[in-house]
Structure 1
């Protein structure tokens, strides 16, 4: 299988790494060579850490040798499966899939790593809805086992079967859900993070107490404010807006503090400051 990945950011680089570790030939596309170089560096560091721990069957060089980096979408023409991992914006993703639908070979499957945007809508834009599916990896991809597989309204059984088998070959546990706003993971997770932000805004507790209570009381590996910073506050806001708009319930209304922080450019780890400084 030739495995395509669009976007060399944190998620795209992780998906490409795991695909290459699983023996696939991988093509990673991004719009700038500097983004590709950053993604390649991220992958190299991740593979080196795994190699040092004795968790790789091959050398990092062997695995990286199966990954090609390119700025040309046309280089994805012969891919059997292409996973998109670009910015969480429906208009951007739709335009990308309109182009991919014309480029990728007719038998190729298109998949989105979207956190919340309707798969059925993106599938329609692609022009090949039977061969379109959601393939939502968790961050960090090399460590997290779940792949949320989201079937669009017209996704074929064959497409779902191939993607499920591919995820299993990548060492992941694929779990299937239907196409509703936020799917399962973010429909449950994001309102919790949003509520934690509301607690901070209202002065219920300080950030350390909010995170500490959820870590110690609920056995979460990290507190909700730390997790929001890790995900990116702009991404959290985008997902909450999709939930609010798609489900029409004000319980999904983004916290005013979340919106204000995004407006201020305080996006979490990616910007160096969110609820905490990095």
Structure 2
């Protein structure tokens, strides 16, 4: 496998997913630069990473194998500045699922990153080829769809864009192996495999609640008790964030111009009301 040209990894976006990626990288021995436009998001990520590493220690029988939260945090630079990426071997972009937000990131990366830096797009639905067109290195752009919570999930979906090179795929597999992850490589299409199917399921589950066919708990019980899923679709939606779910469905609807991706009005109403799931304290379920 091709080797990474250095051990400094940039992570753009300090939300739940970005913080989880930064934590996983730091626990794997990488130096990490975690970048966000908001200092508040960076402080929240610092606190969440500290608490998550402590929580992981409780589950280990041999406490000597548990990571020290302070050691993990010392491997991460929390900043709003892109300049440290001048040494980056690899960058993982995790900003909000809004094209306007993503489109502002890549010119800033291009201005500071060395020519060998690989860009991984951690996106739910946007085309990797479309993102690669924002750069002068489309062969070094690839998709990585991490699952939440990132440190606990052993497999990721990797997406090959139109121009993605075999070397970029090999470097990505090297990075993921150090993070303790396997990958499934798929071709580029909006939503890829996981979210093209998952978002339809979540959206239709929301329709069944809206149409009073069942309540959220009943919907999820069917998936858990009849199909053996660990979580139901609406519990999963609350974990991901209903705003992210809605953004993703809207991207699929726009990309395919297919009415089967029409966003559920109840989902829109909940997002407008600030009922975003776990991160807001209430979604289909209450968490406070």
Q: TM-score, normalised to structure 1's length?
A: 0.96
Larger CA deviation: 53-62 vs 242-251: 53-62
Tell me if structure 2 keeps the 8 A contact 1:95–1:125. Answer: no
Name structure 2 gaps, 5 residues minimum. 1-6
CA contact (8 A) 2:56 2:66 kept: no
* Residue aligned with 1:114, SS: coil
Q: Is the 8 A contact 1:94 1:126 kept in 2?
A: no
The aligned residue for residue 9 of structure 1 is: 15
Alignment partner, residue 132 of structure 2: 123
Counterpart residue number, 1:50: 56
Tell me if structure 1 keeps the 8 A contact 2:53–2:67.
Answer: no
Partner of 1:218: 227
Correspondences of 1:243-258 after superposition (within 5 Å):
243-258=252-267
- Within the candidate set 205, 212, 225, 1:196 is matched to 205
Give the gaps of 5 or more residues in structure 1. none
Separation of aligned partners in 2, 1:223 and 1:30: 31
The answer to whether structure 1 residue 67 and structure 2 residue 73 are counterparts is: no
2:3 aligned residue? none
Q: Secondary structure at the match of 1:269?
A: coil
1:47-196 matched pairs, under 5 angstroms: 47-54=53-60, 56=65, 58-196=67-205
Q: Which runs of 4+ in 1 moved over 3 A?
A: 55-58
Q: 275, 285, 288: which one pairs with 1:266?
A: 275
Please give the alpha-carbon distance, in whole angstroms, between the structure 2 residues aligned to 1:181 and 1:256.
22
Equivalenced residue count is 278
Distance of 2:225 and 2:80 partners within structure 1 = 45
- TM normalised by structure 2 equals 0.93
CA deviations on 1:194-230 (whole Å, 9 max, x unpaired) are 1111111111112221111111111111221121111
Q: How much is the aligned-residue C-alpha RMSD, in angstroms?
A: 1.4
